[in-house]
Amino acid sequence: MSDYTAKIKEISARLLKEEKVEMVIGFRKGTVPMMNEPCFVKTPEDIKKLVWDSNCGINLANYLTGRKEKIGIIAKGCDSRNIVTHIIENKIKREQLLIIGVPCKGMIDKNKIISMFENEINEVSENEENIIVKGEGFEKTLNKNDVLQENCKICIHRNPAIYDELAADLLDEQKDIDRYEDVRKIEAMAPEDKWKYFEDLLSPCIRCYACRNACPLCYCPTCFVDESKPQWVGKSIDPTDTRTFHFLRAYHCAGRCTDCGACERACPMGIKVRIFTKKLEKDCLELYGWEAGLSLDERPPLDTYRPDDPEDFIK
């Protein structure tokens, strides 16, 4: 990954020096293992803090909303698709951006790795294929592919959808991936089992909204759960309100979600919230042949009407 970092630094330094951008948005090394912190860099001297490794799972498109500057932004496949969505939805202008595309080899699942060890992990390093985990009295080498985030394992758009610069050569995309095995399992459940499944899934939710706030799609000035005149959703941790939040949020992401996994990664309670948005992603693909964020020239399915849109679900 050090070659990625070097290239990112080189491009960022050039863009700042030539005053093509006022800031570059990227990652700096985190203060705890398996965490990097989104940051901005405004001067060539600050470039040294930029890093790239398998802990850059936060979606940086989230940091573009409504900004006015000329920005260089580091974008892996999913980030770039959310940037496309942001541009289509007028949250940022294409001309404001210089996109430093990163062909992405996947981000590692911090929660999964933590849960594999009894003791605290003090240090995590990586090389091309492996993740090396160290703690008091233990050291273990894990195969990176075994500990990728769930969404990265099934990602079919690792290369950025749009970019102005590239931090590495484009990768071969993963082929023959079944993206919806988990969704189909739930679709096949009897209604009561489905209900029980959702109930169990959401029972640890503390309504902190980290999932929503980590998501680049959730930029509404006032989210429906925060509306107080009128108030649509209760503020306690009553399961009905919690479910309402999750179901509605998922629908608001229909045809826009890129399965970047930022929501799931952000959840402090380890709730697999992507299952909701994935169901709608599947529906959009099956009903409209749509995948979000691949092109600037096409409008998303929920804001277009086509005479041949399927309608047999209207009963």
Partner 1 sequence: MKYINIDKKSWASGLENLYENYRLFGPVKNNKHHVFKELSKGELPDLNYLNTLLSPKSIVFPQSETMFEYSLDESKEDHHILKEINKDYSPRALIGIRPCDAASFLLVKRNFDTPEYKDPYWLSAYEATIFIGLACSSPCSTCFCTSAGCGPFHEDGLDLLLVDEGKNFIAKILTPRGENFIKSAGWETEADPTAAEKIIKDMKIKAEEKIASFVSTDQLKNKSTTRLYDAPFWEEIAFACINCGTCTYACPTCWCFDIQDEVSKSSGLRMRNWDSCMFPLFTLHGTGYNPRNTKVQRVRQRFMHKLKYYVDKYSDGIQCVGCGRCIRLCPVNIDIRRVCDIMNNYGSRSRLET
Catalog residues that contact partner 1 under the rule CB under 8 A: 30-32, 35-40, 58, 62-63, 111, 115, 120, 122, 136, 204, 206-210, 212-214, 222, 226, 228, 234-238, 265-270
> Cβ 267 to partner 1, closest distance in Å?
8
> Cβ 134 to ligand SF4, closest distance in Å?
24
> Cβ 259 to partner 1, closest distance in Å?
17
Which structure tokens are listed for 315?
Answer: 């009963």
Contacting range for ligand SF4; rule: CB under 6 A; set: 95-103, 171-179, 207-215, 225-233: 207-215
Chosen residue from 25, 209, 252, 279 binding ligand SF4 by CB under 6 A = 209
- Dist. CA 102–CA 197, nearest whole Å: 37
> Cβ 274 to ligand SF4, closest distance in Å?
6
Contacting range for ligand SF4; rule: CB under 6 A; set: 101-109, 200-208, 220-228, 229-237: 200-208
Residue 205 binds ligand SF4, judged by CB under 6 A: yes
> Cβ 209 to ligand SF4, closest distance in Å?
5
Residue 80 binds ligand SF4, judged by CB under 6 A: no
Interface pattern 263-302 for ligand SF4 (x via CB under 6 A): x--xx-x-x-xx--x-------------------------
- Dist. CA 239–CA 215, nearest whole Å: 22
- Cβ proximity to ligand SF4, 261 vs 301, nearer residue: 261
Residue 41 binds ligand SF4, judged by CB under 6 A: no
Residue keyed to tokens 């979606």: 59
